[in-house]
Structures are given as C-alpha cells and as structure tokens.
Amino acid sequence: MPKTPNTRLRTLLAEADWSGAQLAAALRQVAAEHGRQLACDRSMVSRWLSGTTPRPPVPQLLLEALSRRLGRPVDAVEAGLSRPPYTVLDLSWEADPLRRLTALTRAHLDPERRRLLHAGVYSLAMLANPVAWSPDAKPPAGSAPDSDGARGRPGRGEVEQMQTMARVFAEAAQLHGSGHVRTALAAYLGHDVAGYLQAPAAEHTHRQLLTGAAQLITLLGTMSADSGADALAQRYHHTAARLAADAGDRAVFAITLRAMATHAHDLGHRTPAVMNLAGRAADAARNAPRIVRAYTQAHLAVTAAPEDRHTALTALRQAEQLHQQADSAPGPFTAYPLAALHYQRAQTLAALGDRSQAIGAYTASLRLRTATERHARTLTHAHLAETLLAHGHLDAALTHWTHFLDNYPHLSSVRAARRLDVMRRHLVPHHRHRPAAALLDRAAPLR
C-alpha cells in the first residue's frame, strides 16, 4: 500500500526553517551527545517525509532536535510519529502530573515498557522549559473539606508513612547504590502513593501528601540517574517539580530543580540552560530553610565555576555561611551534611583550576563521611584520585582508587561504573608502574 506523507513533520521542518540536510545534521549532533553514531542524511529525511516511520531511537532524537530548534516541547503526535511501529507512552511534558506518575511507574514495572522508557533521550530542550512556580496556586484537585482520616481518607498516618519510606529508600541507596532499590520505590509510588493522591482528603493533608510524593519521586529520579536511565530520571524529576508546585512547597520545589541541574551537570552539560536552572533553584529557595538555601547555593557554585568565577565563589561563600547558621533534622530533605558541602566545594575549586584546594576539600569530605554513606564515599574516593593524578600525585591517587575498588562490588550504580571506566583510562598510560598494573588487573573482571 502507498505510504501516507508525513505532513506534520514537514510543517515542523518549515517552522524550524530547516532543510532536510540541516535536520539530518542536527540529528547526528544530538545522537553524538548520547554516545550514538547515526547514519542520517538528506535522503533519509526525505523518506520520513514521504511516510516511512523511523526506527527507535531516531524518533526520540528527532523530537529532541526539533524541540531545541523551536524552543518548545514537540511530542510524537505533533511530529506525525505516533503510528506503529513507533510505540508512544503518554508522557507529555504538560500532562497531569498524577497521570504521568501512574504511566511512568506502570511502565517502570513492566519489562517490555521499561525497555521503551530506557530507550528515551535525555532532553536539553526540557531544561529550557522548566516547571513554573505559581505563588497563587489553587487547592490541588482531589482535596476535599473534611477531617484527617475520616471514613478511610488518607490523613497524618499516611503522611508520616511516606516520610519514613523516603528515609528508608534514601539510606538503602546510599549504602547499596540505586540499582537494588529503585524498582521497589517505583512500586510503592505506583501502588500506594498514587492511591493516596487520588483519594479525597482535607486540603492541608492533600498538600502534605503532594509534598511527600514529590520528595519520593525526586529520590526515584535521582536513583534512575544513578542507574543510567537518564531520560526516565528527567521525567521523574519534572513530575516531582510539578507536584511540589501544586503542593505550594517552595523548599521541595527548589530541591527538585537542584536535582535536575545536578543531573545535567553530571552528564557533562555546561550550557546556559543548566546554569539558569541552578539559579532558578537558588531563587526558589529564597524563603526556604537555611539548609535548603545552602544546598542550592552550593550547586549554583558548581555550575557557575566553568564560566563565571565571581558568581561561583560568591555562591560558595553564601552556601558556607548559610550552612553554619542552619538548623537541620535528620532526613534526605531536611539535612545537608557538611561532608556533602565539602564535596561541592571541591567540585567548584576543581572547575576553577585550584586543584590543591580541591584535594583538601575532597579529603575533608571523606573524613566526615559515615559508614552508611558508602555510595557517596566511593564516588569521593574516585574523584579525589582523579584530581590527585591530574596534580601529578600518582601513588596518592592509587591509594584512593584502592579504596574505590574495595567498595565498588557492594554498589549497584552506573555512576560508580563510569568512574571505574575513567580509572582504567587514566591508569593505562601507567601500566608499567607495578602498583598501577596491579589495580588494572584487579579492575579487569569488574563491570
């Protein structure tokens, strides 16, 4: 049967003022950013316009390229890519956040649909269209003028349960890495938490439930990023920010924006959009507790350091002052350990080219890490080793890479696996040095 021309894609191409060759070049660039080689030229674009459906992961790359060019989100339906064999999950950026949470967690728990989620593309265009804060937000849908817990409605007990689960999941991820716990968290969100949010509740209780959900989804987004599911992590973070805004919780909203900016920075993106997002997190935290303000200022320093030394050092000083003045309670959203502040200080100083002080900051961070912070401690050893080697201290670097390898088998973490690959690349030129060769041999069977 004759193919139906993709007039929607042709319309978007005209709106973007792109030729087929220019779209192909943009696609190759986006693919390269995601570590993929894409053989795409003008003739291939012509086939898509004539009605041929591109195979995954091309559709995701195509939507990202068009979204960047047009400065707005472009979904599969608008681009004429929603017919088989390209399967589309209902994950529109502007969709209702509760519906999106349900779709995400159900797909996360289904092996076939999870494959589609993991095949997604991390979107820089989404960073340029972040969630807006609405200070005059109306009571979120689902709330009802009633007393807490009346007639089986969720109340204070469910709010406290969600706070407890956030602590449990965060501690498990710190001790064992995210790979072992994120599916359990997705199941809890999809089954229990989604039910709490859909049930009628007193308005103030419903807002607390939204806050608790936003915190748990932020954790799941960060766990997904640690597991290498970058597009999925971005979806979770975006959903969490929407729910925090609906709850009217500026502190959690700021923390979630900060998580988005941290994820982008960890992936190596150093664009104005990433720095602007870190700045938005700091602005959103302006009236939040000092510990949250310190948390957002510290990462603003990290993102600003490559381009704006003054902004970076100013933000770092503010973070340190706020941390000294802050009161905090134990918990993943109420505490910002001094060890973590030293870690961000080290990242900032390293980006500013001050390796000597960065080494001191990483060392201070390690001294303060507790036994339960295995994940953070392992990554700190790796970054300290890399900084020491860059400063010419091979033997000292080997000491910290030894500690890294001691802890590595106990973690399920793609972030740790990436640091293992970096270690291998750095040590290969030193393979004639016996201790370096021994570490390479020890690392050889590890993944």
Q: Which domain holds residue 158?
A: 96-119+128-248
Are residue 206 and residue 288 in the same domain, yes or no?
A: no
Are residue 242 and residue 143 in the same domain, yes or no?
A: yes
Are residue 338 and residue 284 in the same domain, yes or no?
A: yes
pLDDT tens for 208-253 read 999 999 999 999 999 999 999 998 999 999 999 999 999 999 999 9
Q: What is the DSSP string of 145-175?
A: S--TTGGG---HHHHHHHHHHHHHHHHHHHH
Are residue 26 and residue 167 in the same domain, yes or no?
A: no
The last residue of one of the domains, among 339, 368, 397, is 368
Please give the share of the chain, as a percent, with pLDDT higher than 90. 65
Inside any domain, residue 132: yes
Are residue 108 and residue 213 in the same domain, yes or no?
A: yes
pTM, entire model: 0.86
| Mean pLDDT in residue range 354-367 | 96
Inside any domain, residue 267: no
The last residue of one of the domains, among 214, 248, 282, is 248
147 pLDDT tier (thresholds 50, 70, 90): very low
- Rounded CA-CA distance 226/222 in Å is 6
Q: What is the DSSP string of 86-144?
A: S---S--TTS-HHHHHHHHHHHHHSHHHHHHHHT----HHHHTSPPPP-TTPPPPTTB-
The last residue of one of the domains, among 303, 338, 368, is 368
Other C-beta atoms lying within 10 Å of the C-beta of residue 318: 18
Query: For residue 151, what pLDDT is reported?
Result: 46
pLDDT tens for 172-198 read 999 999 988 999 999 999 999 999 999
Inside any domain, residue 344: yes
Inside any domain, residue 349: yes
325 pLDDT tier (thresholds 50, 70, 90): very high
Q: Which tokens belong to 175?
A: 């001790």
H or E stretch at 203 = helix 203-226
- For the ranges 93-102, 339-348, 376-385, 414-423, the lowest mean pLDDT is seen at 93-102
Q: Are 359 and 387 in contact (CB under 8 A)?
A: yes
Inside any domain, residue 265: no
| Mean pLDDT in residue range 321-345 | 93
Are residue 101 and residue 243 in the same domain, yes or no?
A: yes
Phi/psi for 201 (5° steps) reads -155, 160
Inside any domain, residue 438: yes
H or E stretch at 182 = helix 182-188
Are residue 335 and residue 429 in the same domain, yes or no?
A: no
Query: For residue 145, what pLDDT is reported?
Result: 46
Are residue 57 and residue 133 in the same domain, yes or no?
A: no
pLDDT tens for 21-64 read 999 999 999 888 877 888 889 999 999 999 888 887 888 889 88
Are residue 285 and residue 401 in the same domain, yes or no?
A: no
Read off the DSSP letter of residue 199.
Answer: S
Inside any domain, residue 305: yes
- Rounded CA-CA distance 178/186 in Å is 12
Inside any domain, residue 172: yes
H or E stretch at 186 = helix 182-188
Are residue 35 and residue 176 in the same domain, yes or no?
A: no
Mean of per-residue pLDDT scores for the chain? 88
H or E stretch at 248 = none
Are residue 140 and residue 202 in the same domain, yes or no?
A: yes
Are residue 225 and residue 302 in the same domain, yes or no?
A: no
- Rounded CA-CA distance 282/301 in Å is 10
Nearest to 241 by CA among 97, 73, 127, 95: 97
Surface-to-core class of residue 364, CB atoms within 10 Å of its CB (0-12 exposed, 13-18 middle, 19+ buried): middle
| Mean pLDDT in residue range 96-122 | 79
| Mean pLDDT in residue range 91-115 | 76
Which residue, chain included where needed, has tokens 């047009």?
Answer: 70
**Count of the separate structural domains present in the chain:** 4
